[in-house]
Amino acid sequence: TFPKHVRIVEVGPRDGLQNEAARIDTATRIDLVERLIAAGLESIEVGSFVSPKWVPQMADSAEVLAAVVGRPGVSFPVLVPNDKGLAAALAAGAREVAVFAAASEAFSQKNLNCSIDESLARFAPVMATARDRGVRVRGYVSCVLGCPYQGEVPVADVVRVARRLIDMGCYEVSLGDTVGVGTASAAARMVAAVAAEIPIERIALHFHDTYGQALANTLACLDLGVAVIDASVGGLGGCPYAAGASGNLATEDLVYMLNGLGIDTGVDLDRLIGAAQFISAALGRPVASRVGRALGDR
């Protein structure tokens, strides 16, 4: 049975923009976040505190976060890979951060320059400091349905890493199909295996739409009771360490489907499409999402 309400975690300002060749200036990124707030999103991932040598697009995340943090009723998580990232995020006022691990060893090396276990060990002090400061921590697991380097990823590896993140104190774990290779039955099987170990309320899903499967995968997993879905306005996105990864599931495609299913999100579709048009224009291209294109000219 479907949930009555779905919390959408909007990741466009982070996952969406981290992989764009065109640099979006800080004021434009802040303007995008303001439009997403106005559209009614309750959780907006605004940036990451990672090495600017690795992901230069996110180098101004402190300014973006500081411009919006504290806005009532909205959380603004930011990615942190280690202590250094957490310290910078806290200095910018972060009230929520996200750590990110992978279910694939090869991807962990490419994305974090360390093994899965080393990454988890680095998160331990991050979790401790965050707990002391009353900051919530979300956890990501990448490559849950396949890896661009390793190929197949055993479900047992996804379960193990998700479990570790929850045991370490993450309030929620977001399962990422980083390259978008998964299909509906594989997604549902993977989620069912994780849900056997972790309460379904603590599972979020993060699909990339590279193969056009994101919406179908989402629907299959909503039916299992998952009620938190990551998505990216305008279908922006990708991952600099996952060749071929295209955008995330587009937020407006997701909202359109959920509206049709009678599932509440609190998001105003017209305003959301306006935000998609705004950022797509700033990137110099048409809106990539189907719903954005279909409804964009009204």
Residue 55 site contact among ligand HMG, Mg ion, none (CB < 5 to 8 Å, cut-off depends on kind): ligand HMG
Beta bridge partners of 100: 140
Q: Which residues contact 7 (CB under 8 A, 6 or more apart)?
A: 42, 43, 227, 228, 229, 265
Contact 181, 142 (CB under 8 A): no
Least distance in angstroms from the C-beta of 111 to ligand HMG: 5
Catalytic residue, chosen from 143, 147, 170, 239, is 239
Instruction: Please state the closest distance from residue 65 (CB atom) to ligand HMG, in A.
Output: 14
Residue 246 interaction partner, one of Mg ion, ligand HMG, none, beta carbon < 5-8 Å per kind? none
Q: Is 140 in the site for ligand HMG (CB under 6 A)?
A: yes
Rounded least distance, CB 103 to ligand HMG, Å: 9
Q: Is 43 in the site for ligand HMG (CB under 6 A)?
A: no
Contact call for residue 259 and ligand HMG (CB under 6 A): no
Q: Is 139 in the site for ligand HMG (CB under 6 A)?
A: no
Alpha-carbon span 116 to 107, nearest angstrom = 9
Q: Give the Cα separation of 191 and 87 in Å (integer).
A: 33
Residue 136 touches which member of ligand HMG, Mg ion, none, C-beta under 5-8 Å by kind: none
**209 binds Mg ion, rule: CB under 5 A:** no
Question: Does residue 123 touch ligand HMG according to CB under 6 A?
Answer: no
Residues 3-42 that bind Mg ion (CB under 5 A): 15
Give the span between the Cα atoms of 264 and 170, in whole angstroms. 25
Residues 191-210 that bind ligand HMG (CB under 6 A): 206
Check if 143 is active-site.
no
User: Residue 276 and residue 80: Cα distance in Å, rounded?
Assistant: 26
- Confirm if 118 and 102 have CB atoms less than 8 A apart: no
Beta-carbon contacts of residue 102 (< 8 Å; ≥ 6 apart): 108, 111, 112, 116, 119, 141, 142, 143, 147, 161, 178
Q: What count of Cα atoms within 13 Å lies in the side-chain half-sphere of residue 145?
A: 29
Could you tell me whether strands 47-48 and 96-102 are parallel, antiparallel, or unpaired per DSSP bridges? unpaired
Q: Under a CB-based contact definition with an 8 Å cutoff, are residues 264 and 6 in contact? A: yes
Binding flags for ligand HMG, 227-246, as an x/- string (CB under 6 A): ------------x-x-----
Establish if 224 lies at the interface with ligand HMG (CB under 6 A): no
- Select the residue interacting with ligand HMG from 178, 217, 265, 280 (CB under 6 A): 178
Which residues are known catalytic residues?
239
List interacting residues with ligand HMG (CB under 6 A).
Answer: 15, 18, 48-51, 54-55, 79, 81-82, 84-85, 88, 100, 111-113, 140, 142, 176, 178, 206, 239, 241
